[in-house]
Amino acid sequence: MADKSTKGLADVVAASTALSDIDGKAGRLFYRGYDIHDLAGRATFEEVAHLLQRGRLPDRAELAAYSESLAAGREPGPLAAANIAEIAGKQTPMEALRSLVSLAAADDPDKDSTAHEANLRKAARLTAQQPVLVARYHAARTGGSVPDADPELSIAGNFLLQVTGRRPEPRQVEIFDECLVLHADHTMNASTFAARVCAATLSDMHSAIVAAIGTLKGPLHGGANEQVMKTLESIPADGVAQAVRERLAAGEKIMGFGHRVYKTEDPRATHLRRMSAELAEAAGDDTYYRMSKEMEEVVFEAKGLYPNVDFYAASVYHYLGIPTDLFTPVFSISRMSGWTAHVIEQHADNRLIRPDSEYIGETDQKWKPIDER
């Protein structure tokens, strides 16, 4: 049997990266050496995407040029655009994104190249198109329309505009932009690893991103924030403690708590808790924030578990007017910056990722003709 400590590749170093790092004991997260606490609420998502994909925080001229490339690549190509309505009628949100990103590859002028400059251009297009694909998918399935992007708004602002149909308040844009920064990258998580495994075969960036989206789709990775919101909606506002204790006693897992790496509070949860409280006050309804706080206290008392990034993200997205089943696609909007950066990094210094395995099946089997079996 495999050593229990390495099951699921726990603590196994699968790749070297300069993109992000975690200090699990201290509860710290770094993007290219910058503490997330220094970036959150200060650097915009566009700045962080530039940092991850291009190696440094941009100066004003570099940010302007990068923002121009994002705006120029925002519109999905004809093949993806033509199929959004049909896909929306047949596929769930993450299934749809998996399909649409695959179709987007056919529309990309750099689809056949894994050269560094081509990868940079594709990374910008994928980062710019992902929020548009989510918004257009949502409009197609609800029979609505998507407002034109506002050149004065950021990726965060335009997504809120296009998915809700309302021009967001400036503070809502700032908060959502901070959410995107907090989710941009997170070392060798499952979807990032899947992207790098695909890229290591020298497959193209779009294929690697499709692998990442398919991995993020799983409820043990990207679906937790949606499950948190469903839990909050299923519990009486005045019966949180009792409901949580009953579920824990029945052996049920409360989503949004605990983390494979962090041994203390997830640093991203610190910011999301604050934003949830602020949005609850602005909405004049603190029900879900108050329930979340009580749930956090009960789970910590019973299990000693801290909330992770998914827990308070649920109520933040809810207060921003984002439909619950789009929470995981929103995760992909942010993580696209990190996924594409990892593909760029993998292609720049590539070695095929081919781990070993331990055989645990039968041995010394003897073949018999079919009539003798």
Catalytic annotation, pick one of 110, 310, 318, 342 = 310
Contact 306, 265 (CB under 8 A): yes
Q: Distance between CA 168 and CA 224 in Å, rounded? A: 26
Count of CB atoms situated within 10 Å of the CB of 38: 11
Q: Distance between CA 264 and CA 41 in Å, rounded? A: 22
Nearest to 333 by CA among 230, 250, 212: 212
SS3 state of residue 194: helix
E runs forming strands in the chain: 20-23, 28-31, 34-35
**In the numeric block, which tokens belong to residue 271?**
């910011």
Q: Which residues fall within 8 angstroms of residue 17, CB to CB, at 6 or more apart?
A: 187, 188, 342, 345
Q: What values do phi and psi take at 23, rounded to 5?
A: -105, 95
259: annotated active-site residue = yes
Catalytic annotation, pick one of 183, 259, 318, 342 = 259
Rounded to a whole number, what is the distance in angstroms from the first to the last CA of the chain?
29
Q: Distance between CA 109 and CA 37 in Å, rounded? A: 38
Q: What one-character-per-residue DSSP string does 264-308 give?
A: S--HHHHHHHHHHHHHHHHHT--HHHHHHHHHHHHHHHHH-PPB-
Contact 276, 315 (CB under 8 A): yes
Nearest to 195 by CA among 186, 204, 111: 204
Contact 259, 266 (CB under 8 A): yes
Q: Distance between CA 373 and CA 362 in Å, rounded? A: 17
Q: Which residues fall within 8 angstroms of residue 177, CB to CB, at 6 or more apart?
A: 44, 45, 154, 155, 156, 157
Catalytic annotation, pick one of 21, 221, 286, 325 = 221
Residues catalogued as catalytic: 221, 259, 310
